[in-house]
Amino acid sequence: MTQENRQALSDGFRDGIPIGLGYFVVSFTLGIVARQVGMTPFEGFLMSLLNNASAGEYAALAVMITDAPYMELAVLTLIANARYVLMSAVLSQKFSPDTPFYHRIFVGFDVTDEIFGIAVAREGKLNPFYNYGAMLTALPGWSIGTAMGIIAGNILPLSAVSALSVALYGMFLAIIIPPSRKDKVVGVAVIASFALSYLASIFFSEISSGTRTIILTILIAGIAAVVKPIHDD
C-alpha cells in the first residue's frame, strides 16, 4: 500500500469514528425491532453488516412482521434505498478516471448518507481508501449495535435510546455547515433542502421518504446547476 493510500485510509478511519458511534446508537433501536421479528443476535448482525441502510432495514423488518412475500420485501427495500443510486453517481464523479472498477464496486457497497457526506465534501479527487477507512468504523458500529439491541430487547426504554440518536443529527450539521459557509450557493441549497423537505413531508406524506429525497435532490441540484454552474478549471 502506498503512503498516499495509507494516509487516505487513516483519514477515513478518523472521520468515520463519529459515524460509527452514531450508527451504534441508532442501530440499537433497529435491533429491538429485529428481536420482535424473531431474529437472533447473529442474524441481526449479519443483516446490518450486509445491508447498511437504516430506512431499508426498518422497512424490511416492517414487512417481515406482517409475513409478506419475498417479492414485496425486495421491491420495498429497493425503493427505500433508491437514493443511494444518486449518491453513487455523484461519488463516481469524484474519482480519478483511472480508478479501477473493483474499487468503485467496493465503495458502492457502503454508500450511506453520512459516508457520502464526508466523502463528497473532501477536496480534490476521492481516494477509495478514504471510504474504506470510514467503512471500517461504520460497518462494525451498525452491525454490532443491531446485535446488542436484539440482546437487550426491551430492557431499556425506547425513549431513552431514541434520545441518544440526536448525536447523529449533530454529525450531519458538522458535515454541511463548513461547505455552506464557504460557498453561498451551497448554503442556499442546504436551506432550501430543509424547507422543501419539511413541506414535502406535510403535503406529500403518502410518498415514501426515500422517493421524496430523490425528487428533491434532482430538483434542488438541477436548479443550482443551471443558476450557478461549476466551470471546469
Q: How far is CA 131 from CA 56, 94, 169, in A?
A: 21, 12, 20
Q: What percent of the chain has pLDDT over 70?
A: 88
Q: What percent of the chain has pLDDT over 90?
A: 18
Task: Note the pLDDT of residue 133.
Answer: 93
pLDDT tens per residue across span 178-189: 778 888 888 888
Task: Note the pLDDT of residue 7.
Answer: 92
Instruction: Quickly tell me which residue has 450557493 as its cell.
Output: 185
Which of the four pLDDT bands, split at 50, 70 and 90, describes residue 154? Answer: low
pLDDT tens per residue across span 112-135: 888 988 898 888 889 999 999 999
Domain regions of the chain by residue span: 3-167, 183-233
**Residue 164 in this model has a pLDDT that exceeds 70:** no
Task: Note the pLDDT of residue 136.
Answer: 93
Q: What is the pTM of this model?
A: 0.69
Q: How far is CA 214 from CA 199, 210, 211, in A?
A: 15, 6, 5
Q: How far is CA 26 from CA 119, 162, 209, in A?
A: 21, 7, 18
**Residue 10 in this model has a pLDDT that exceeds 60:** yes
CB 94, CB 126: distance < 8 Å: yes
Instruction: Quickly tell me which residue has 470510514 as its cell.
Output: 134
Segment 64-84 mean pLDDT: 77
Q: Could you count the other beta carbons within 10 Å of the beta carbon of residue 153?
A: 11
**Residue 167 in this model has a pLDDT that exceeds 60:** no
Task: Note the pLDDT of residue 178.
Answer: 76
